Amino acid sequence: MVGEIMHSDIVKLKREDSLHKALEIMYDHNINGAPVVDENGKLTGMIVKADIYRFLMEEGHYDTCPVDWVMAKDVVTAKSDEDILAVAKRLREKNIVSIPVIDDENTVKGIISIEDILDYVIKKF
């Protein structure tokens, strides 16, 4: 199950965080993306470095632009009780490398990446 291998101690961003802050946090934690949550920890989006870089190619206000302007709002998610291979298939089909793990109330509980799944498969076999 996903809950066995997901990371639960994760970085979360807020919609009002600046892109500058988001990139600093991603670099500091050596991650490529992070879930965006509201004040109750509910998932509102997902932001990845590639989205920020694409946005920066256009003129804008990098230091003051909020994460909300760039984040994906239609987020692919997983549940902790889902089958790991089903999630791996979803990651591959959607061409993404990580997804937030949420509960029934849409609260972010963790994140799972293709690397986590690969590590799991290597240990299993």
Q: In Å, how far from its chain's centre is CA 115?
A: 13
Query: Which three-class secondary structure state does DSSP give residue 60?
Result: coil
> Residue 111 corresponds to which tokens in the numbers above?
């994140």
Helix (H) or strand (E) holding 78: strand 78-79
Q: Which structural domain range is residue 116 located in?
A: 2-124
* Of residues 100 and 61, more confidently modeled: 100
Averaged pLDDT, 110-115: 92
Averaged pLDDT, 61-72: 78
Q: What share of the chain has pLDDT > 90, as a percent?
A: 62
* Of residues 102 and 67, more confidently modeled: 102
pTM for the predicted model, two decimal places: 0.80
Domain of residue 66, CATH code: 3.10.580.10
Total number of domains in the chain: 1
> Residue 93 corresponds to which tokens in the numbers above?
């089909």
Look at residue 12 and tell me whether its pLDDT is greater than 90. Answer: yes
**What is the reported pLDDT for 60?**
60
Query: Which three-class secondary structure state does DSSP give residue 28?
Result: helix
The total number of residues written for the chain in this structure: 125
